Structure formats: C-alpha cells, structure tokens
C-alpha cells in the first residue's frame, strides 16, 4: 500500500485526510493524477519537494513530502492543501476535520464521526478496542510505516475514548 512512497525517507512529513464520502474510482484517478502533476513542480522556498499521494479505500488520502537537507515550509504545505481543496470543490466532496474519528465499521467501510459520537458508539458497543481506526494526527512517514495506516483502538490514542471498565478503574 505504501509502495509509491518507498523513495521517501522515514523522516518525510506526511498528512492523512479523510473525505466526507467515499470517492468514485474516477475521482480517485483524478485526484492522484492531479497530485502527480503538481508534485513535479512542488517547491518550498525555492527548493524542490519530493512528494507522493495515494488514495486509500476511496476514502483516505495520504500525502507525503520531503525536502532534501531541509524542512518543508508552511507555504509549501499550503500549496498542497490548496490543490486538495480545489480538487474537492471541483468534484463536490469535502475534507473532514482532523478532529474527527475515522473508524472501520463491521462491514469494513470507513466511517467518520465526531469524538462525542465515537464515545457514544463505544458506550453502545458498536465500536470496541478491536475496532480499526486511522490516526489523522500522524505526521511522519516513518511512524506510518511502523504503525500502519490503521490499527486497533487498543493500540492507539483512541482508546482514551472508550468507556473504562471497573477493572481498569480499580
């Protein structure tokens, strides 16, 4: 899944974005092609940015970037954000807030809910410590390679959102 990022070092910055709805295959192709063209000219304060983009499960977009002998600037990051925002507008979808929780439901589809909604789902037993989540706060490609795109709630910060059992409290 991360093969298209193999040329980037573990220190590369990365960002995960979730869409408000599943993208069609045509939209995935459009988005990846758009980014591929963009990254050829991507720069940060006059330095070339090596980057890659992949749409995962038609719902999650992974962007990674690396500047040799330096860091990508806020302006460089903003360039990629503007591209993604324009793509969303042109294809009538939206990017969800990184404050939301992305989890895999019992049918294997990615769902996006607020933290409060996730807590309610946990209380109702709809999500549990084995539910797979995506941590939208990951910022390094190395961490993503080490931990994977998704992982069980029990091995993520998301576990704090689950109700505590009597055993865990005592």
How high is the pLDDT of residue 20? 95
Question: What pTM value is reported for the model?
Answer: 0.89
What angle is formed at CA 140 by the lines to CA 159 and CA 111, rounded to 5 degrees? 45
How far is it, in rounded angstroms, from Cα 101 to Cα 133? 7
Q: How far is CA 47 from CA 59, 70, 76, 138, in A?
A: 31, 9, 10, 24
**pLDDT exceeding 70 applies to what percent of the chain?**
95
Q: How confident is the model at residue 62 (pLDDT cuts 50, 70, 90)?
A: very high
How high is the pLDDT of residue 166? 41
| Residue 140 DSSP one-character state | B
Q: Which of 26-30, 59-63, 69-73, 105-109 has the weakest average pLDDT?
A: 69-73
Q: How confident is the model at residue 67 (pLDDT cuts 50, 70, 90)?
A: very high
Distance from CA of residue 125 to its chain's centroid?
Answer: 25
* Average pLDDT of the residues in 144-148: 91
Q: How confident is the model at residue 70 (pLDDT cuts 50, 70, 90)?
A: confident
């Amino acid at each position: 899944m991360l093969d298209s990022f193999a040329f980037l070092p573990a220190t590369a910055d990365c960002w995960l974005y979730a869409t408000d709805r599943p993208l069609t295959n045509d939209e995935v192709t459009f988005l990846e092609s758009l980014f591929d063209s963009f990254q050829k000219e991507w720069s940060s304060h006059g330095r070339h940015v090596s980057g890659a983009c992949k749409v995962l499960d038609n719902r999650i977009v992974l962007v990674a970037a690396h500047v040799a002998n330096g860091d990508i600037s806020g302006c460089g990051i903003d360039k990629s954000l503007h591209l993604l925002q324009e793509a969303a507008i042109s294809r009538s979808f939206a990017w969800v807030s990184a404050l939301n929780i992305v989890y895999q439901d019992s049918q294997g589809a990615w769902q996006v809910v607020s933290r409060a909604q996730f807590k309610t789902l946990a209380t109702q037993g709809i999500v549990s410590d084995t539910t797979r989540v995506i941590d939208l706060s990951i910022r390094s490609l190395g961490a993503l390679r080490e931990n994977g795109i998704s992982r069980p709630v029990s091995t993520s910060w998301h576990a704090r959102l689950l109700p505590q059992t009597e055993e865990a409290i005592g």
